[in-house]
Amino acid sequence: MGQKKATYIPEDSSPLQEKFISMVMERGKKSIARRIFSDAMNILKEKGKNKPEELFLKAIETVKPQMEIRAKRVGGSVYQIPVEVNAKRQLTLSMRWIISSARSKKGQPMAQKLANELTDASNSTGAAYKKKEDVERMAAANKAFAHFAKY
């Protein structure tokens, strides 16, 4: 009745978009997650971004971390050891950070928050990008313990 029709309908959503939709989903409500994602893409389209799919991909690529730290116990002490992040985990972390930073904002519909976070992430700003920078900064600060990675 008062519901507006989605103007953005993906020709065929990519496996990456499907994974993202599944991560947005809460309590098994996939149709709501799909609507949130398509509304976010509509908002990006209205903002003048002619290709919201490319902006989505750029946002995920920008937030992917290269290094992270893992706690490892060596000789009774626990060291924060920097390790490279494999490709699958990079993807998962970047999606998780974008969604969680969008959820943490208050006062707007989720689609609006998600669109804003995707825009920020693609421009190398925003909470998700800051999280990536923090993780990589911690890894760089603990470079002295990298030799413990072989244990």
Q: What are the structural domain ranges in the chain?
A: 15-150
Q: What is the pLDDT of residues 103-136, one digit of tens each?
A: 999 999 999 999 999 999 999 999 999 999 999 9
Q: What is the pLDDT of residues 46-102, one digit of tens each?
A: 987 778 899 999 999 999 999 999 999 988 999 999 999 999 999 999 999 999 999
In angstroms and rounded to an integer, the radius of gyration of the C-alpha atoms of the chain is 18
pLDDT of residue 50: 78
pLDDT of residue 48: 77
CA 30, 35, 41: angle at the middle one, nearest 5?
A: 130
Instruction: Return the CATH fold of 15-150.
Output: Ribosomal Protein S7 (1.10.455)
